[in-house]
Amino acid sequence: MNDRVFAVIGGDIRFSRVIERLCQDGYPVYVVAHSCCGNIGNAVVCDLQTAMTAANFVLLPIPALREGQMLNLSENPISEEVFCGYVRKGQTIFGGKLSENFCEKIREVSGYPLDYLTNESMTVQNAMITAEGAVSLAMQQRKETIFGSRCLIMGYGRIGKILSRYLHFMGASVTVCARKESDRTWAKLCGYDAISPSLLSEEVRSADILFNTVPYMIFDASVLQFVQRRCFIVDLASKPGGVDLKAAADYGLTAVQALSLPGKTAPISAGDILYQTVLSMISERSQQS
């Protein structure tokens, strides 16, 4: 087991849980720039050079980078150039939403980049947590039940499928807006209403809650002008999102951009999922080599 030595660099509460689980299972762990509270067991808190020298598996945050070329750390920023200068031959570098440019820099120094989010099991489980968080957020903000609410979901990917299922079982009237005819057909077979984007401006007029899962601008001023003022809007899409928040405010609408919900609403569960994903991806790679 000790041939697996881990370094955790940065990260939120999910990564505190990962550190805890790694230590519980007997893995040596080195921690850098991790300021979140949580039980990190007997992990060694150290600098970047020490961690990168000791570890053969390095865990970066989700997303791994911010502002283009800086590691996504809350303090003591580290550039990707500085980081890659410490990568050793054969070292596996995990991260979330790794850019191809960053991956190429890791490969140039004979490292092996792996993106957590390429693991389908993790992606689906994160979608589940995101859907739960979205429902919870809507209930807290509206102070009303989901039962009897008219909910419009834009997009029918992983999050859209799980979210529509949750809302339906909670007694909401669910309408799915999807570009693909096949997605609309599946939505109807599941018992939901389904429309094409061409009917969106008409459908939003009667919605109590709007959930967007599509990562490009959908709800701009031309659509938001038809939304009733008591409607609550949740944008679940990654940046830049699919809701014009300024236009929503101008129309007196309540809209929130709900990013990284797994790490905010259920960080322990999300950390457990991340931990299992890392071990699974390591095993898969060892079987391939």
Mean pLDDT for the stretch of residues 203-217: 97
Counts of helices then strands in the chain (DSSP H, E): 12, 14
In order of 176, 178, 220, 250, the CA distances from 223 in angstroms are 16, 16, 6, 13
Tokens for 48, please give them. 């970047």
Do 15 and 128 fall within a single domain? no
Same domain, 159 and 103: no
- How far is the CA of 163 from the CAs of 132, 153, 157, 191, 240, in angstroms? 7, 8, 10, 13, 21
How confident is the model over 262-285, as pLDDT tens digits?
A: 989 999 999 999 999 999 999 998
In a domain, 232, yes or no: yes
Mean pLDDT of the chain: 94
Q: Does 134 fall in a domain?
A: yes
How many structural domains comprise the chain?
A: 2
Average pLDDT over residues 1-30: 92
Is 1 a domain residue? no
Alpha-carbon dihedral 106, 116, 264, 235, rounded to 10 degrees? 100
* 51 shares its domain with 65: yes
| Domain span holding position 200 | 122-258
Q: What is the mean pLDDT of residues 30-37?
A: 82
Same domain, 47 and 151: no
Confidence of residue 36 (pLDDT cuts 50, 70, 90): low
- Whole-prediction pTM: 0.89
Say which CATH number the domain at 202 has.
3.40.50.720
Q: For residue 255, which of 287, 289, 279, 223 has the smallest C-alpha distance?
A: 223
Average pLDDT over residues 53-67: 93
Q: What is the pLDDT of residue 288?
A: 76
Residues 141 and 181 occupy one common structural domain: yes
